[in-house]
């Protein structure tokens, strides 16, 4: 694959990733001002999946699987986002268990929901540090692509 194509691909991936994460950070921060509805946790457990490593080693990934019910504008909704964006699976079982234990089944929770789209909700508002770290990583991809273009 020609160096110029690799450079452009790195730049495109970096810019697209940064833009997506920027939008997610904006949405997470906007959630701080969303209306709050009373909710109840219906499910709270740690989910895991097998991840196959490049060296053919099997590893488990974990995530807190929390589902809650709330009412907005006279309708009942169910959602599962703790944060925006959803953290997804990660390597720490302890972190997933800690997160799930904050939201035990039956617990009353404050649900922040998007007034323009009440199906969109979260329990914790504000951009998490990992979103900012992801933005930095995507900028490094773009910078690497630019450096390759200049050198090549």
Return the pLDDT at 51: 81
Pair 106, 149 in one domain = no
Pair 74, 117 in one domain = yes
User: For the segment 38-86, what is each residue's pLDDT rounded down to a tens digit?
Assistant: 999 999 999 999 887 666 667 899 999 999 999 999 999 999 999 998 8
Return the pLDDT at 53: 67
Pair 91, 140 in one domain = no
Pair 27, 39 in one domain = no
Pair 10, 72 in one domain = no
User: For the segment 92-103, what is each residue's pLDDT rounded down to a tens digit?
Assistant: 999 999 999 999
The count of domains in the chain is 2
Q: Identify whether the C-beta of residue 79 lies closer than 8 Å to the C-beta of residue 62.
A: no
Pair 24, 39 in one domain = no
Task: Give the span between the Cα atoms of 62 and 74, in whole angstroms.
Answer: 35
Domain that holds residue 94: 35-124
Pair 29, 46 in one domain = no
Look up residue 31 and give its two tokens. 């959630």
Pair 44, 110 in one domain = yes
Pair 137, 104 in one domain = no
């Amino acid at each position: 694959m020609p160096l110029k194509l690799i450079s452009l691909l790195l730049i495109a991936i970096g810019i697209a990733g940064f833009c997506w994460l920027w939008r997610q950070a904006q949405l997470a921060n906007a959630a701080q001002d969303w209306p709050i509805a009373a909710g109840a946790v219906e499910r709270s457990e740690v989910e895991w999946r097998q991840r196959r490593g490049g060296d053919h080693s099997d590893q488990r990934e974990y995530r807190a699987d929390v589902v809650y019910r709330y009412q907005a504008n006279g309708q009942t909704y169910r959602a599962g986002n703790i944060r925006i964006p959803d953290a997804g699976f990660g390597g720490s079982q302890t972190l997933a268990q800690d997160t799930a234990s904050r939201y035990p089944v039956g617990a009353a929770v404050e649900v922040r929901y998007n007034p323009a789209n009440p199906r969109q909700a979260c329990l914790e508002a504000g951009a998490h540090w990992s979103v900012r770290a992801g933005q930095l990583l995507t900028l490094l991809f773009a910078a690497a692509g630019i450096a390759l273009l200049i050198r090549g």
